[in-house]
């Protein structure tokens, strides 16, 4: 009887450990360009439902941040994720994977070569509401030495900027824009600067 109980306990523990191993999940984080409304987010999520076993899908329309978890045992690749985003009709800007084993993988898919040597084009989120915001954002970005072209979409909140990597960096450009009163993904405008913006330019601030 005791032997039966011990065997049962061992089998139970093995089953539990096996179940826990199967629950190991990789976390995927992608910044997506082109998400302008809840319908867009629904379309992206629906496309990723093709990946059986996907969990904890989260989409922030304001920032374009898209994240989910997927079974580690399936070893989903960065390339497969970015391709799926493109199949949904959107552009992966940056991608990051936190593997269950602690390994981190990153990709910058939005970096494109320009005709000028040392010049690249990147996309990033910049908060704003209207044409006045667009003019302010553009002026701030162009004030940075090395920036050649800039465009900002008030609907998607995404900015595309071309700059000489030998003269400046994306961080410097983001800081200049934040100094003008507009939040970016990595840099926030000071509250006093934001408060001084015209009422129509008071966008919803990023809280996370």
| pLDDT digit string, tens, across residues 119-175 | 888 888 899 999 999 999 999 999 999 999 999 999 888 899 999 988 998 889 999
pLDDT per position as a tens digit, 64-117: 899 999 999 999 999 999 999 988 888 888 899 999 999 999 886 544 444 445
**pLDDT above 60: residue 8:** no
Residues 194-198, mean pLDDT to the nearest whole number: 95
pLDDT for res 7: 46
Distance CA 206, CA 208 (A): 6
Distance CA 199, CA 183 (A): 16
What is the sign, positive or negative, of the torsion defined by CA atoms of 159, 157, 128, 107? negative
- Show the domains of the chain with their CATH numbers: 24-107 (3.30.70.100), 112-201 (3.30.70.100)
Neighbours of 133 (CB within 10 A): 24
pLDDT for res 141: 96
**pLDDT above 90: residue 61:** no
């Amino acid at each position: 009887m005791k032997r039966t109980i011990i065997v049962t306990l061992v089998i139970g523990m093995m089953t539990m450990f096996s179940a826990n191993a199967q629950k190991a999940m990789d976390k995927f984080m992608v910044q997506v360009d082109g998400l302008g409304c809840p319908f867009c987010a629904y379309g992206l999520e629906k496309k990723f439902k093709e990946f059986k076993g996907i969990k904890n899908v989260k989409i922030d329309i304001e920032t374009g941040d898209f994240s989910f978890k997927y079974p580690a045992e399936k070893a989903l690749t960065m390339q497969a994720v970015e391709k799926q985003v493109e199949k949904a009709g959107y552009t992966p800007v940056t991608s990051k994977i936190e593997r269950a084993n602690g390994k981190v993988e990153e990709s910058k898919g939005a970096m494109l070569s320009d005709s000028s040597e040392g010049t690249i084009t990147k996309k990033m989120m910049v908060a704003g509401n209207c044409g006045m915001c667009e003019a302010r954002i553009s002026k701030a970005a162009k004030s940075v030495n090395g920036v050649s072209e800039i465009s900002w979409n008030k609907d998607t909140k995404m900015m595309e900027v071309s700059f000489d990597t030998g003269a400046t960096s994306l961080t410097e450009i983001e800081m200049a824009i934040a100094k003008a009163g507009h939040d970016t993904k990595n840099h926030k405008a000071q509250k006093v600067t934001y408060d001084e913006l015209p009422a129509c330019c008071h966008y919803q601030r990023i809280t996370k």
